[in-house]
């Protein structure tokens, strides 16, 4: 079994918003489903940024299932990176990071660690970094 | 064996310097001093320790640099000058100017599209100079008999300048506010960073238990003439800083909020760009982040008592930056100590509020450690102030502007 993770942006047409897609992905394809960002309103298209973890074959089957329903699937390619040379470890980003991707593991040294896998690219840190250490990459 | 190593109290500056020159001085960072006092007690520790190093690394407005370009052929008496498009004040002499940290380029959109980015300004020019980058100088003049030239456009580089001196009229605030947004419904953009509505976050700006003036709260050893570590070079306290306010409210002898400040001077040519950093505050403007280290000679027990104060004994006021600060309203939303601030969350009016700092504790610790090593190697000697700063209890204080109607 080749376990892997994929970050994807799903665009839902409004016609299928009432379907239990998440349930199917988990139950039928045995996938771990982590919602990174969600925006679904009754009037407009739904948008979901997800991380799918599971067997590569199952992920592909799951994606086929989604595409069959009319869901547009795109790779989640926006990425926030940190320039460690510019970062001063001031910690001003930590209070605004919603997912704790930016965090302080040791309160004695107060150094900021960046866990890219938790980042949802909301760019809150990019806006507040006084040293332009956080950058968006597409 | 230890008789010649340990000085009797009170120690003098000269005795400590003698030990430094012999590379025998016992030097600890403020963090280590806290530990030692905790372990051995104040009395014993004060005898053992000669110097405690303190430091801070944070955005400090009221910073800038004097530059002398050298004379052009034919000569020009510069009236207006721009460095990489950033206006530098030239009304000093012919080829001297002062580049201020918070100046922005004349064509910067500023806050026209709010919140502005402020990606470049005076602070960045200073950092680029230190980094050895070429800077575009543009200058204009009205022309005189002795200085006929009216325009100048060239590149300058720090290595070719006659002098490049960092002269910061107000640095190293003794303590600082914890900034929050209580009243505004939107995120506000301040010099203390972006503050989310409904007490969404709290930003502070001090190295707490490492910060120089918090560790010498009555200015007993840090004064005019004190040699300091600034931006990687040796510099000096040249005066007390502007807005120096020694009579601020104190708790355990230590000011709760602003209080004392220092004016700092140092040779830009010897500094390093990782310690003097151009800084962009979204929606607010630009400034300069300054790395500063100051040694505190342990002349007696009293000095070590304060130098060994811990984060939990040092307090800062929580100030609303949406209404109270801009309108100069006195009062605060309570006080918190630096241990609480560094924990990542504080309680304000019953609400848990995440905290972030503008001042880097980890960089401050690096500086305190570098300074400690320099003193131990005999490369950095301590100085007795030639004059003390205005003291607590003196009449010196911080005044608000009294506006008067202008009739003409």
Measured CA to CA, the distance from residue B26 to residue B211 in angstroms comes to 20
Among this protein's residues, is B146 annotated catalytic?
yes
Q: What is the pLDDT of residue A48?
A: 84
- B246 within 8 A of B391, measured Cβ to Cβ: yes
User: What pLDDT digit, counting tens, does each position of B354-389 carry?
Assistant: 999 999 999 999 999 999 999 999 999 999 999 999
Domain boundaries, chain B: 67-164, 166-285+309-359
Q: What is the pLDDT of residue B392?
A: 96
Measured CA to CA, the distance from residue B201 to residue B190 in angstroms comes to 13
Tell me the shortest Cα–Cα distance from B343 to chain A, in angstroms: 7
Alpha carbon B306 to chain centroid, angstroms: 20
| Inter-chain CB proximity A128 and B360 less than 8 Å | no
Nearest Cβ partner for B277 among A107, A128, A131: A131
What is the four-CA torsion angle of B296, B17, B27, A109, rounded to 10 degrees? 50
| Inter-chain CB proximity A130 and B354 less than 8 Å | no
| Inter-chain CB proximity B358 and A93 less than 8 Å | no
Among B361, B363, B369, most A C-beta atoms within 10 A, so best to mutate, is: B361
Tell me the shortest Cα–Cα distance from B297 to chain A, in angstroms: 25
User: What pLDDT digit, counting tens, does each position of A81-94 carry?
Assistant: 999 999 999 999 99
CB-CB neighbors (< 8 A) of A123 in chain B: none
| Inter-chain CB proximity A89 and B361 less than 8 Å | yes
Domains in chain A with CATH codes? 3-75 (3.30.70.260), 79-137 (3.30.70.20)
Write down the ipTM of this complex: 0.93
Q: What average pLDDT does chain B have?
A: 97
> pLDDT tens digits, chain B, 408 residues: what are they?
444 568 888 999 999 999 999 999 999 999 999 999 999 999 999 999 999 999 999 999 999 999 999 999 999 999 999 999 999 999 999 999 999 999 999 999 999 999 999 999 999 999 999 999 999 999 999 999 999 999 999 999 999 999 999 999 999 999 999 999 999 999 999 999 999 999 999 999 999 999 999 999 999 999 999 999 999 999 999 999 999 999 999 999 999 999 999 999 999 999 999 999 999 999 999 999 999 999 999 999 999 999 999 999 999 999 999 999 999 999 999 999 999 999 999 999 999 999 999 999 999 999 999 999 999 999 999 999 999 999 999 999 999 999 999 998
For residue A75, pLDDT beyond 60: yes
Q: How big is the CA angle at B64 (ends B60 and B65), to the nearest 5 degrees?
A: 145
- B360 within 8 A of A88, measured Cβ to Cβ: yes
Which tokens belong to A137?
A: 């990459």
Measured CA to CA, the distance from residue A12 to residue A8 in angstroms comes to 13
List the one residue out of B187, B239, B246, B192 whose CA is nearest residue B61: B192
- pTM, entire model: 0.90
Q: What is the pLDDT of residue A22?
A: 80
User: What pLDDT digit, counting tens, does each position of B76-103 carry?
Assistant: 999 999 999 999 999 999 999 999 999 9
CB-CB neighbors (< 8 A) of A106 in chain B: none
């Amino acid at each position: 079994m080749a376990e892997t993770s994929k970050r994807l942006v799903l665009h839902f047409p409004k016609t299928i918003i009432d379907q239990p897609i998440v349930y199917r992905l988990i139950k039928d394809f045995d996938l771990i489903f982590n919602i990174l960002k969600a925006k679904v309103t009754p009037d407009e298209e739904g948008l979901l940024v997800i991380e799918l973890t599971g067997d590569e074959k199952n992920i592909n089957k799951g994606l086929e299932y989604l595409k069959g329903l009319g869901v547009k699937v795109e790779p989640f390619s926006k990425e926030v990176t940190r320039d460690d040379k510019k970062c001063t470890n001031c910690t001003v980003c930590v209070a605004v990071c919603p997912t704790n991707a930016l965090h302080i593991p040791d309160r004695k040294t107060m150094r900021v660690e960046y866990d890219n896998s938790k980042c949802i690219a909301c760019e809150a840190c990019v806006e507040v970094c006084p040293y332009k250490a956080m950058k968006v990459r597409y | 064996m230890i008789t010649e190593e340990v000085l009797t109290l009170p120690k003098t500056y000269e005795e400590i310097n003698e030990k430094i020159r012999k590379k025998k001085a016992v030097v600890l960072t403020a963090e280590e001093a806290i530990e030692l006092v905790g372990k051995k007690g104040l009395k014993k520790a004060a005898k053992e320790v000669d110097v405690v190093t303190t430091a801070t690394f944070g955005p400090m407005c009221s910073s800038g640099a004097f530059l002398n370009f050298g004379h052009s052929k034919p000569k020009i008496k510069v009236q207006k000058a721009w460095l990489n498009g950033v206006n530098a004040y030239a009304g000093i002499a012919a080829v001297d100017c002062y580049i201020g940290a918070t100046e922005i380029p004349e064509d910067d959109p500023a806050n026209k599209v709010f919140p502005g980015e402020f990606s470049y300004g005076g602070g960045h020019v200073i950092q680029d100079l230190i980094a050895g980058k070429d800077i575009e100088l543009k200058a204009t003049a009205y022309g005189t008999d002795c200085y006929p030239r009216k325009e100048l456009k060239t590149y300058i580089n720090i290595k070719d300048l006659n002098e490049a001196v960092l002269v910061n009229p107000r640095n190293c605030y003794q303590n600082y506010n914890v900034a929050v947004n209580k009243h505004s419904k939107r995120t506000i953009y301040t010099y203390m960073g972006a503050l989310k509505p409904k007490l969404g976050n709290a930003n502070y700006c001090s190295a707490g238990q490492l910060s120089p003036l918090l560790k010498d709260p009555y200015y007993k050893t840090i004064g005019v003439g004190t040699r300091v570590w600034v931006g990687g070079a040796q510099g000096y306290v040249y005066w007390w800083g502007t807005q120096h306010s020694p009579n601020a409210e104190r708790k355990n002898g230590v000011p709760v909020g602003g209080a004392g400040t220092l004016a700092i001077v140092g040779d830009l040519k010897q500094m390093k760009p990782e310690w003097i950093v151009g800084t962009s505050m979204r929606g607010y403007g630009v400034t300069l982040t300054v790395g500063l280290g100051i040694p505190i000679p342990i002349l007696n027990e009293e000095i070590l008592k304060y130098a060994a104060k811990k984060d939990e004994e040092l307090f800062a006021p929580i100030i609303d930056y949406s209404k109270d600060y801009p309108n100069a309203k006195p009062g605060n939303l309570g006080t918190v100590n630096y241990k609480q601030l560094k924990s990542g969350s504080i309680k304000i009016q019953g609400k848990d509020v995440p905290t972030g700092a503008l001042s880097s504790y980890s960089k401050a610790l690096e500086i305190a450690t570098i300074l400690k090593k320099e003193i131990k190697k005999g490369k950095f000697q301590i100085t007795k102030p030639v004059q003390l700063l205005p003291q607590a209890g003196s009449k010196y204080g911080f005044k608000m502007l009294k506006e008067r109607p202008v009739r003409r």
